[in-house]
Amino acid sequence: MSEITTGTGSNATIPTTTTNATTTTNATTTTNATTTTNATIPTTISSVTIATTTATTTTTVTTITTATTATTETTETTTATTTTTRTTTTTSSAADIWSLTIPTYATWNQTGITVAGNSNGTNGSDLGSLSTPVSIFIDNNYTLYVCDRDNNRIVKYYAYATVGILVAGNRTKGNDLSELWSPKGVAVDQYGNVIIADSSNYRIQKFPPGSTVGITVAINSSAISIGVMRDLHINVNNVIVITDSTYSRVVKFNASGGVGAIIAGINGVGSGSNQFSSPFGNFIDENETFVTIATTTATTTTTVTTITTATTATTETTETTTATTTTTRTTTTTSSAADIWSLTIPTYATWNQTGITVAGNSNGTNGSDLGSLSTPVSIFIDNNYTLYVCDRDNNRIVKYYAYATVGILVAGNRTKGNDLSELWSPKGVAVDQYGNVIIADSSNYRIQKFPPGSTVGITVAINSSAISIGVMRDLHINVNNVIVITDSTYSRVVKFNASGGVGAIIAGINGVGSGSNQFSSPFGNFIDENETLYVADSGNQRIQMWPAGVNSGITVAGINNSSGSSLGQLSSPNAIVIDNNGYASCRKVCIA
């Protein structure tokens, strides 16, 4: 019999919200735009782009916060060649994917940090340079996607990277499926497809994960005219929205293709309530309410990015742009605390009693190709529904994009070993907020960290005289970058900092036993945002809860040392999940 632990994926949702506001300045044109939007929007990625055409420098100011409940005002003033006054009043409530979420006490550093391109403002064509970047998108892992317009390409930058990775386009303007011409909008959908407004080709292109050959979603034709696009977004329903400056309108398309539909600007150029004049940026929420902003050209792009755990519901925005020097932004926000690590499950939820195979062979056979698994023992699911699997007997970690049937190798090479590129019987996996893959490399008695895109690991912790590490059965990482592992050899739970250092025992300090401060063959663990620990104490047939800082646990499920099948008993539980309602779920799954 082999044990399969499925608890690791429970804290896959790390709903920090990313908000991008790109503001462009101009000294020669006066534009007035007033828009009011009321929307409740989901927790993943939001991107608002306010027009550009000739920018060569991208400057970013970043604030990372965790929200509680409060009300405040934040005022930001910068100097440029345009006057922009924006007043936003926000009331926060339940978490949704597309909301702009700014906690009440948020402030911004007045000095920006260059995160892509040359900090001296020079353009270039190497992957450390940009030439007129005009639009950006940031995913849940803080990976930055840039429309590098005059290099006719899309480049992505992992968090803190100084050199980009080519995603689409090859610097040569053209209309082949591998080429782009003056791209002006980019977004990534929940399946990992990169959607691009290929502006001067008058088409929308979709690049599947890992592919440099695009698929044409829509193109200028007799069925629907597409002109020069200035911005592109995609919402949670896979609705693509583009701003068409040629025809002064906003058009939506289905990501799977088909003829578009005009959703705003049906009466040509003008200043009427049903008209636009040179519209640029747009934003669409899950209710398909959108905001469109008109502007002209620019020489500098300034980006303000806020990464936070707060949530937003109702927003009113009024924006006025005129020529000359100051930007003043006043924000009044009421925030409610975000529960990061809980699974949000309605109390009335039910499940289909028939499962669907999402990875591995549906007939139950093992294998070593990327469509097969051999004794998978732990999983993790990120915000894009990408599934990471500990493929134990293949000594590797494999990831599957949503609806994919073939996996992608993340770490390990099927050969058991202790080199930095090898694993041996991995039994726990998680992905932190920077995209690092953290692995319980169990039979090597070490914890490995694989940075995004790297197949060479970094050892975070290893069995040593400073801290003994035995056979690990599960691994989680919380919002504070605390790694928690269940060590069955020593019947305890140990925490480590993701940056390294000596671990600390946080539960099970008195060896094997059935006391309230002991475990017997513990397996799965779950840690919430308050650092309350839950452990599947398999050998004692119970689930133990350890609030932060205490020396003994409380039994919350099962009967100590009493294995059974009644609803008050458990039998060798080895995975544990806590949902948003405080309910625990645990189970034992075995295969022959």
**Segments of the chain with pLDDT less than 70:** 1-107, 284-349, 580-592
pLDDT (0 to 100) of residue 352: 77
- What residues contact residue 530 under an 8 Å CB cut-off, 6+ apart? 547, 548
Distance CA 565, CA 15 (A): 36
pLDDT (0 to 100) of residue 425: 96
Structure pTM? Answer: 0.47
Copy the structure tokens of residue 73: 């005002």
Distance CA 379, CA 333 (A): 37
Q: Computed from CA positions of residues 66, 345, 89, 187, in that sequence, does the dihedral angle turn out positive or negative?
A: positive
pLDDT (0 to 100) of residue 353: 78
358-462 and 463-591 in the same fold: no
Q: How far is CA 389 from CA 6, 128, 342, 358, 452, in A?
A: 9, 33, 20, 11, 16
Q: Are strands 533-537 and 522-527 parallel, antiparallel or unpaired?
A: antiparallel
Instruction: Count Cβ atoms below 10 Å from residue 171 Cβ, excluding itself.
Output: 14
Identify the CA nearest to 490 among candidates 526, 516, 518. 518
- What residues contact residue 222 under an 8 Å CB cut-off, 6+ apart? none
Homologous superfamily (CATH) of 463-591 is: TolB, C-terminal domain (2.120.10.30)
Copy the structure tokens of residue 301: 């792009």
Q: Are strands 17-24 and 45-50 parallel, antiparallel or unpaired?
A: parallel
CATH among 2.60.200.20, 1.20.120.450, 2.40.10.500, 1.20.1070.10 for 220-310: 2.40.10.500
516: left (phi over 0), alpha (psi -120 to 50) or beta: alpha
Distance CA 176, CA 198 (A): 11
Q: Give percent helix, percent strand, percent coil of the chain, each to the nearest 5.
A: 5, 45, 50
Identify the CA nearest to 159 among candidates 116, 191, 220. 116
Distance CA 584, CA 575 (A): 10
The strand pairing partners of 282, in sequence order, are: 292
pLDDT (0 to 100) of residue 443: 96
Distance CA 413, CA 417 (A): 9
Which tens digit of pLDDT belongs to each residue from 263-316?
888 888 888 887 888 788 877 665 656 555 544 333 333 333 333 333 333 333
- What residues contact residue 324 under an 8 Å CB cut-off, 6+ apart? 27, 81, 82, 83
Q: Computed from CA positions of residues 533, 308, 334, 311, in that sequence, does the dihedral angle turn out positive or negative?
A: negative
Identify the CA nearest to 145 among candidates 240, 49, 69, 62. 49
The strand pairing partners of 153, in sequence order, are: 148
pLDDT (0 to 100) of residue 106: 64
Distance CA 509, CA 554 (A): 15
Write down the CATH number for the domain with range 113-193+205-214: 2.40.10.500
pLDDT (0 to 100) of residue 434: 84
47: left (phi over 0), alpha (psi -120 to 50) or beta: beta
Write down the CATH number for the domain with range 358-462: 2.40.10.500
Which tens digit of pLDDT belongs to each residue from 453-464?
899 999 999 999
Give the start-to-end residue ranges of the domains of the chain: 113-193+205-214, 220-310, 358-462, 463-591
